[in-house]
Structure 1
């Protein structure tokens, strides 16, 4: 079993920038995180350090828990607030997230994600999802929608607004929205953000939904 990070290392991890995972710390702290596979040093100047997928998992896991349950289609949405760490609204949260500062936080998170795309692409392109998005499909799709001004659904089953959920497919999320025009608008937003989408109908209910996957080329 992997030894958990020290208290000092955990503080550095928890203080990482939302979405991008950019780290700040002493050279010794950052080198120790790299050695443990929780961070990597970007090969291009200014050679900043970022969390690896393993590092992101550490940050997203409460210190008192050993694992976080995976999202399953049809299950209630998890809380969107985690100890002050930014979380995109996936729809169906029990309570609204944030206050007057929420739009600013969303814009900052989206710009950070675009910067992460730029820094992790050899050509610096930002038109396709990056590795972080492929390991955080629901959060990435929800952030793209929220940043574009779409409204997430409330906690009630019939509340209007989008809901983003995991699917059995390894690289696809389902986006549901009661309003057909709003659903098509969600699909258009995701396509503009580098996702490929397709509209489908649930066989039993006849409800339309969008299946979205990160575009590779």
Structure 2
């Protein structure tokens, strides 16, 4: 991409579905985004357009940030991931200002999960809804947290002493899931395995606390 997107194209990117990246616009607008490498046209009917990883990154970048400002490296494994601005974000646990619970949140989470399953169907080569897709591999913490929240697991509150917490790890394609007890970890492991993740249980060498290490399954 040699030129930045126009204001109209950026609005189109920002209005994309927050989970699946599905775009809405005129054929000319969508074609222009494809040419810039920010979107792709799905080969299967109805041939919808979706954001590419570059398109997702552009939407998540802060447009007001100074170009020379260094971007943060990998997040600390024990810190919650920031929520997306203006869109849906699954609960990773430990947020200082979590979204309000209630029926509206349940519906929102259910809709996001169904959208992710549809994205799997449309982007996995075999159309499988049982196996994580490319979006999940580039948004590991958010994807694992969505699977857990959609299954009804309670996320940890601001103190982090109850419920699950999903955190980034230095390992590629792996997240850590922490919980207050073995029962919580076992339940989270079963949910992630059902959602297409490979899960192993480990013990932290310093704290001696148990945690899960989960990676999206490829086959």
Shift in Å, 1:72: 2.4
Q: Distance in 1 between matches of 2:184 and 2:132?
A: 23
Closer, same or farther: CA 22–98 of 1 in aligned 2, 3 Å: farther
Q: Does 1:151 align with 2:154?
A: yes
Q: Secondary structure at the match of 1:117?
A: helix
Q: Does 1:140 align with 2:121?
A: no
CA contact (8 A) 2:176 2:211 kept: yes
Shift in Å, 1:99: 4.5
Q: Distance in 2 between matches of 1:127 and 1:174?
A: 21
Measured against aligned partners, the alpha-carbon deviations of 1:72-94 in whole angstroms (never above 9, x if no partner) come to 234532432512x0011111111
Shift in Å, 1:55: 0.4
Q: Secondary structure at the match of 2:109?
A: helix
Q: Distance in 2 between matches of 1:190 and 1:140?
A: 10
Number of matched residues? 215
CA contact (8 A) 1:80 1:97 kept: no
Shift in Å, 1:98: 3.9
CA contact (8 A) 2:80 2:166 kept: no
Within a 5 Å distance, the mapping from 1:1-217 to structure 2 comes to 3-65=3-65, 69-83=72-86, 85-100=87-102, 101-157=104-160, 159-217=161-219
Farther-moved stretch of structure 1 (147-156 vs 70-79): 70-79
TM-score (norm 2): 0.93
Closer, same or farther: CA 99–11 of 1 in aligned 2, 3 Å: farther
Measured against aligned partners, the alpha-carbon deviations of 1:21-44 in whole angstroms (never above 9, x if no partner) come to 110001111011101100000011
5+ residue gaps, structure 1: none
Closer, same or farther: CA 197–75 of 1 in aligned 2, 3 Å: closer
TM-score (norm 1): 0.93
Closer, same or farther: CA 195–149 of 1 in aligned 2, 3 Å: same
Measured against aligned partners, the alpha-carbon deviations of 1:190-216 in whole angstroms (never above 9, x if no partner) come to 000000000000011100000000011
Q: Distance in 2 between matches of 1:136 and 1:187?
A: 19
Question: Segments of 4+ in structure 1 off by > 4 A?
Answer: none
Q: Distance in 1 between matches of 2:170 and 2:82?
A: 21
CA contact (8 A) 1:196 1:212 kept: yes
CA contact (8 A) 1:117 1:124 kept: yes
